[in-house]
Chains A and B, each alone.
Chain A
Amino acid sequence: MAILPIILSAIIFFGSLILIFGEKINRSIVAIAGAVLMIGVGKVFGFYSEEAAVEAIDFNTLGLLLGMMILVAMLEPTGFFEYLAVLAARASKGKPLRLFILLGIVTTVLAMFLDNVTTVVIIAPVTILISEIIGVSPLPYLMAEAILANTGGVATLIGDPPNVLIGSAAGFSFNDFLVYSLPIVLFSWVGAMFLLQYLFKKELSKRPRRSKAVMRLNPAETLNQPDTARRILIVLGGAILFFFFHHLLHIEPSLVALGAASIALLWVQPDLQEILKKVEWSVLLFFGSLFIMVGGLEHSGALETFVGVFQSGASMSPVLFGILVIWVVAALSAVVDNVPITIALIPIIQGLGNSGVDVDPLWWALAFGAGFGGNGTIIGATANIIVASLSEKTREPITSALWIKRGLPVMLVTCTIASILYAIIYPWF
């Protein structure tokens, strides 16, 4: 195998990753440029082509993300998220600990089926409202929401972009996630919840000055388009039902999501321009471009070289290797975006699989590491950045030091719980 294509493709890929992680230039712009460069250089040196690049794009991932983005974009303006938050607030009767748990549950459940970022973007402002009217600091609630959304998202195929990627690459169905990921996430989530309550003990034990004010929040008035909300929820419910059976019916999750999106669009007939504006095209372009770059690595033979390196690691005890993957990926995800990490590791795990290693457990290790690692720092996950930048515009900003004090312990505990359960469940993976 020629050495030059390997070196060139590796330089383009890792150069782009460094720029992406440097965050000086928009990550999607870097990725698009990197993808184009990879194809150009690949053509000159004869290891890559336009056709091969198109083949490298995982349209299943992109379709699933697009379909869910359209559904969320339609659900967002109906006020449904606010409605749930207000219900939680009323049910808590303004008692901080109850409010903390209920808002955490609402956020987690939404994050399990919808995009974490959208969930947090909508729940966080209502959280600030609720805490201000009862007269407590919003910080514990905001941080817990981001952390619990990141944690809960790992439980399902559609909960988190890394899961979408892993599910598509490994061929895991929606139910596979419910069987293998959900139980581990459930234990980790409970662990995270208890730990957060302990870490915010002081704030949560303070008596609110006006807890009764929550009872005068009117949930009905938050639903500004109840009819639209009802229709989208019916479609979403139908989609989730289909997700349970998609592998039996031999349909890809992307078809379920895009099908649901098109039914919702037909039924509601919203202003399409408005909906499309809310779809995160830059994220889709980012994913597509990374796929093209990784395809270049694959075609140049660079991936095979990396796989060789990892193979020596895989020769250790497989359980230990899996736990190592959880922790290494978690550590990386705490400081950089987990999407490029996942996209880069997918072909390596696939390569290990081709060389005869049982990789199913490794996929799950990757999912846990990528998901739980994001809780460690303020920049570890987009949801963290969202609540932090929102809180910056309030009287009590979340600092990165505070995040390390509260979030890092959660990351360590959830990764520990996941590692222990991983070792116990390993024979069944």
Chain B
Amino acid sequence: MNITSCMKRHVVSIKSNTTINEAAAIFVKKHIGLLPVVDKDDKPIGVIGMRDLLKLELPDFVNFVADVDFVHDFGAVEDTRPSARNLNKSVKSLMRPVITIEEDCGLLRAYALMLQQNLHDIPVVSKEGKLIGIASRVDVGVAILSSWEKVE
């Protein structure tokens, strides 16, 4: 079994000139966590995750104070919104390098890669490098576990 058996073939992707605000709207509408960014030939050039967008709102202190248990009210932070200027920038500034797998990739290899690279979704590309699908940890994990039914 390889990754094509469990991946989603309908992939929502964006171009690098999409604005951050437009990307946010897509996350909301499609209820997804990762958006591959593709070039004009549909080849992935990066990804942008929901967490990259949320980072715009997270307060700075979260990066410095290891344990925020004692802060029972985030106060002003709770209702700060990123500036319109920031939201109208293209996603390029937030884009991260993409890690892909090819369509013939085995399920365990795919799962191990996601585990090690801490990915929740992984884009799948054809031999030519075109984006053809996307698989989540649950997709891969369910596919692996379902093979256990045949164990005697």
Q: Is the CB of A132 within 8 A of B72?
A: no
**A202 at the binding interface (Cβ < 8 Å):** no
* Binary contact readout B69-80 vs A (1 if CB under 8 angstroms, 0 otherwise): 111111111011
B81 to chain A, nearest CB (A): 13
Are B65 and A126 neighbours in the complex by a CB distance under 8 Å?
yes
Beta-carbon nearest neighbor of B80 in chain A: A135
Q: Per-residue 0/1 for A219-243: is the Cβ within 8 Å of any B Cβ (1 yes, 0 no)?
A: 1111010000000000000000000
- Which among B19-27, B56-64, B98-106, B131-139 touches the partner chain? B56-64
Interface status of A216 (Cβ within 8 A of chain B): yes
CB distance from A194 to the nearest CB of B (A): 28
CB distance from B142 to the nearest CB of A (A): 40
Using A132-B59, A224-B67 as known contacts, say yes or no to A216 and B76 having CB atoms under 8 A apart.
no
Are B75 and A213 closer than 8 Å at their CB atoms? yes
* A129 CB–B CB distance under 8 Å: yes
Task: Return A385 CB to nearest CB of chain B, in Å.
Answer: 16
Closest to A126 in B: B65
**Residues of A259-310 contacting chain B, CB below 8 A:** none
CA distance A125 to B68 in the complex (A): 11
Q: Give the distance to chain B from A366, nearest Cβ to Cβ, in Å.
A: 35
B76, closest chain A residue (CB) = A135
Question: Considering the complex, which residues of chain B in the window 73-124 have a beta carbon less than 8 Å from any beta carbon of chain A?
Answer: 73-77, 79-80
**Contact flag A210-B70 (CB < 8 Å), given A132-B61, A390-B64:** no
Contact check: which of B69, B71, B79 meets A129 at CB < 8 Å? B71
Residues in A with CB closer than 8 Å to B75 are: 132-135, 209-210, 212-214, 216
Chain B residues bordering chain A, tally (CB within 8 A): 19
Within the complex, the shortest CB–CB distance from B83 to chain A, in Å, comes to: 10
For A219, the closest partner residue in chain B by CB is B70
- The residues in A between 387 and 402 inclusive whose CB is less than 8 angstroms from any CB of B are 390, 393-395
Separation in Å of the A237 CB from the closest CB of chain B? 25
Interchain CA distance A128-B79 in the complex, whole Å: 17
Q: Across the A-B interface, how many residue pairs have beta carbons closer than 8 Å?
A: 70
Bound-state CA distance A395–B56 (Å) is 10
- Say yes or no: A125 contacts B70, CB within 8 Å: no
Whether A133 and B73, one on each chain, are in contact in the complex, defined by CB atoms closer than 8 angstroms, is: yes
**Minimum Cβ distance to chain A for residue B78 (Å):** 8
Q: Is A415 an interface residue (CB 8 A)?
A: no
Shortest CB–CB separation between residue B140 and chain A, in angstroms?
Answer: 35
CB distance from B93 to the nearest CB of A (A): 14
Residues of chain B within 8 A of A395, CB atoms compared: 60
Tell me the bound Cα distance from A82 to B80 in angstroms. 25
Q: Which residues of B have CB within 8 Å of A214?
A: 75
Q: Tell me if A86 and B70 are in contact (CB < 8 A).
A: yes
Inter-subunit contact A221/B73 (CB<8 Å): no
B59 surroundings in chain A (CB, below 8 A): 129, 132-133
Interface residue A208 (Cβ < 8 Å from any Cβ of B): yes
How many A residues touch B, CB cutoff 8 Å? 29
Chain B residues near A213 (CB, 8 Å)?
73-76
Chain B proximity of A326: nearest CB distance (Å): 36
Q: B61 contacts A128, CB within 8 Å? A: yes
Contact (Cβ within 8 A) A129 B61 = yes
B77 x A217 contact (CB < 8 A): no
How many Å from the CB of B64 to the closest CB on chain A?
A: 4
Inter-chain contacts of A135 with B (CB < 8 A): 75-77, 80
Say yes or no: is A205 at the interface (Cβ < 8 Å to chain B).
Answer: no
Q: Complex Cα distance A357/B82, Å? A: 64
Given A125-B61, A128-B61, A395-B60, decide whether A134 and B67 contact each other with a Cβ distance below 8 A: no
Chain A's nearest CB lies how many Å from the CB of B47?
23
Q: Whole-angstrom distance between the alpha carbons of A328 and B64 in the complex?
A: 37
Determine whether A355 belongs to the interface, using a CB cutoff of 8 Å to chain B: no
User: How distant is B70 from chain A, measured CB to nearest CB, in Å?
Assistant: 4
Instruction: Identify A133's interface contact among B64, B67, B76, CB under 8 A.
Output: B76
Whole-angstrom distance between the Cβ of B66 and the nearest chain A Cβ? 9
* A349 CA to B148 CA, complexed, in Å: 83
Question: What is the CA–CA distance of A390 and B70 in the complex, to the nearest angstrom?
Answer: 21
Q: Which residue of A lies closest to B64 (CB)?
A: A125
Contact between A218 and B72, CB atoms less than 8 A apart = yes
**Bound-complex Cα distance A214 to B70 (A):** 11
A216, B70: Cα distance in complex, Å:
8
User: Per-residue 0/1 for A372-407: is the Cβ within 8 Å of any B Cβ (1 yes, 0 no)?
Assistant: 000000000000000000100111000000000000
Do A132 and B76 touch across chains, with their CB atoms under 8 A apart?
yes
Task: Give 17 A-B pairs besides A210-B73, A216-B72 with Cβ atoms closer than 8 angstroms.
Answer: A86-B70, A128-B64, A129-B59, A132-B59, A132-B77, A133-B59, A133-B75, A135-B75, A135-B76, A208-B76, A209-B75, A212-B73, A213-B73, A213-B76, A221-B69, A221-B70, A395-B60
Top 7 closest pairs, chain A to chain B, by CB: A213-B75, A135-B76, A133-B75, A125-B64, A221-B70, A129-B61, A216-B73
Can you show 20 pairs from A to B with CB atoms below 8 A apart? A128-B60, A128-B64, A133-B59, A133-B74, A134-B75, A134-B76, A135-B77, A208-B76, A209-B75, A210-B75, A210-B76, A212-B73, A212-B75, A213-B74, A214-B75, A216-B72, A217-B70, A218-B70, A221-B70, A393-B64
